[in-house]
Amino acid sequence: MYKYTDKRFKTNEIQVMLYTDFNGLSRSDCAAAAYILTDCCKKFPTYSELSKHLANLYSASLYSNVNFAWSGMRVAAVKANVLGNAYALDGENLEAEMCGILCECLLSPNAENGKFDETATANMRAEIIDDIDSVINEKSSYAAQRGAMIAFKGEPMDTPPVGTHEEAERITPETAYHAYRNMLETARIHIVCSGSSDFTDTERAFTKAFSKLERSNICELKKTPSTLKPEPAVFADTIPMEQAILRMYFKAPEFGDFRAALILSVILGGMTTSRFFLNIREKQSLCYYCACTGNRALRTLTAYAGVEPQNIELTKQAILDELNDIRENGVTEEELSAAKLDLYNRYSSMKDSPSIMIAWYHGQILDDEIHSPEEECREIEKVTSERIRAAARAYTLDTVYTLCSPDFDGTADSDEREDTE
């Protein structure tokens, strides 16, 4: 259990994170199980009853999500936010009450005879299908999802964490409950808390609740960088849309200097004075936006841009030119200082809420050392231009993905195009 106390906060955030491998279970079943857990339980068998009780706890909140963690592992997170005990009007122990609800939802779900409630499962199946199908309406998200299928083919991240439409259609009360039991019995469980409390009540509640579980074959947390393809994959999708989206994935499986890689991504496309913004968007007017982000566990950099279809190839070359320039010439002191200042400003806001603090510290649990935001600023200060140049040289183009209208025929050869209408 990880606890971070800051008396400036008026609320407490408690997160129960269940880390599992993709071990043959349907992703959609696992997602449905996680979502059902925070919609109802035996004590509060409907969403309405549970919501009413939470509202009586000074509008406490309870929710869950599923996502990728550390190089593609699955994490199902059950999260609660509740007012600190010091602010309760009648001296209620809100933390203990919230922990009781969390334990009820996690360990006593609305299920009997090896299956979840029929109505709860049907509602969740419909929601998951709707979420999966609605991604196509947000073109940037759709492109990111489709690009990941190519960039991470054969790896966990090549499929969304909630699964596919076909998987979601097959969710039943029995399959979702089976996924729930598998997660409960084999997951690596981390309980992470942040807020005004010292979380003594939380630790006591979960120690008692989880001590009754029989668990085996516990998932091992690990970092696994994404595999670099022998040759870059080039893929184009078509869908009715006005503009086009370009995504370029770079990988460096053997490069471990994540701070240099981070600053490289900021200089390339992570701030308003980045090279992509100034040189590609402003000076060359090749795109509407152009940015870059990195994944330290996967050891990838992803450049992405919104462009006119006829500018796809020009933008692609412009992105490569900027990276090649840093490989050959490094970065200026002005760029380095600006990137560091941008990161300092980001880190200074990490203590703005309990949930951000949880994300900050828990994101480091596989690191050799865990740093506070202030300590991380001091590490960032040590990064030199030469380290950034080494990072630029380490990254190799792995995948080029484009999404544009089927009316445009200049983005890729016909045998590389897939019509997704």
Segment 336-389, tens digit of pLDDT: 999 999 999 999 999 899 999 999 988 888 888 899 999 999 999 999 999 999
The average pLDDT across 235-261 equals 96
Tell me what pLDDT residue 62 has: 97
Kindly tell me if the per-residue pLDDT of 281 is higher than 90.
yes
Q: Write the pLDDT tens digit of every residue in 181-237.
A: 999 999 999 999 999 999 999 999 999 999 989 999 999 888 889 999 999 999 999
Which positions ≥6 away from 311 have C-beta within 8 Å? 286, 287
CB 187 within 8 Å of CB 18: yes
Q: How far apart are CA 2 and CA 354, in angstroms?
A: 13
Q: Is residue 370 classed as helix, strand or coil in its secondary structure?
A: coil
Strand ranges in 183-270 using DSSP code E only, listed in sequence order? 188-195, 233-238, 244-251
* pTM for the predicted model, two decimal places: 0.91
Kindly tell me if the per-residue pLDDT of 408 is higher than 80.
no
CB 178 within 8 Å of CB 29: yes
With 0-12 CB in 10 A as exposed, 13-18 as middle and 19+ as buried, what is 125? buried
Confidence of residue 68 (pLDDT cuts 50, 70, 90): confident
Q: Is residue 350 classed as helix, strand or coil in its secondary structure?
A: helix
Choose the weakest-confidence range: 151-155, 181-185, 248-252, 409-413. Answer: 409-413
Look at strands 233-238 and 396-404 and give their pairing: parallel
CA dihedral 67, 369, 5, 200 (to 10 degrees): 80
Residue with tokens 């199946």: 125
For residue 132, the 8-state DSSP code is H
Query: For 52, left (φ over 0), alpha (ψ -120 to 50), or beta?
Result: alpha
Confidence of residue 412 (pLDDT cuts 50, 70, 90): very low
The average pLDDT across 5-23 equals 93
CA 57 centroid distance within chain: 29
Tell me what pLDDT residue 179 has: 96
- The two tokens of residue 77 are 């997170």
Q: 394 has which bridge partners?
A: none
Helices (H) and strands (E) in the chain, counts: 15, 13
Tell me what pLDDT residue 73 has: 81
